[in-house]
Structure 1
């Protein structure tokens, strides 16, 4: 079996056995509402407690940075360099979500828990954007397993915690960290 087929089989298994659902549930349990000033500690907590350990297990070095705009959500750069001569992929995501609006959810559908109804998963951030960056990380994890710990390329991940609030500070941050974020793709 090719490493590509093996990786696809492994990813499929993560969905079929409930592992991805559980991972997404852990992520959604963090109420990362960037529009609420009192949620700032939760935004840091998501990066430090949830994302950092996950990407470090994949061989990334991680730096969580304060936002250049005071009082706004932090930004994280995670880097996995296998060989500086290899091409580098830059991936972007955000871990913040829109307000929970707890009272507006249907009974039995709390915003900070992933619930499956039929073929749909409900929970704040499942599609925008926690699901997206966790799919990317799961794909990288399974590719590493299928290729004996090597991707064959380098990866940089930029994860912000303010996209749902207009990405304050993102432009200035990217300019200040342009060299650190430099990539081929």
Structure 2
């Protein structure tokens, strides 16, 4: 039976873990959650291939000197419940691959590797998840105070609405 729904193009790390993390160890889930505040995951047509980007979509000057683009700090691919880190990320008019992607990819062992004509993937597991996450966090900027204020305000509105709804249902 064909699934007839539109996939979410941008998801949180929590959503990623709930969607794909059934076979991930607790340590891998905890380390992935370290990306939650700073990073968001985006995907195109393939629901299991996700690029790692900053939540504020910060732009950087292109090395070519032509404009600015957002960084993709890497790309996760999940195949049969196993997490992989891709050699290449999505690059287009708005996104360029961060230099950290090559550093991370080259640091991973080649023993658990998958390749096709477009890309190579290396397995991420308990033995290397710390290095992957620490490397991303070493270059991915903290979020701005403005961003934190917006999130706090949105969260407080959600809590107030929930409390109001609960009060209304309980006493009316």
TM-score by length of 2: 0.25
Max radius of gyration: which structure?
A: 2
Higher helix proportion: 1
Higher strand proportion: 2
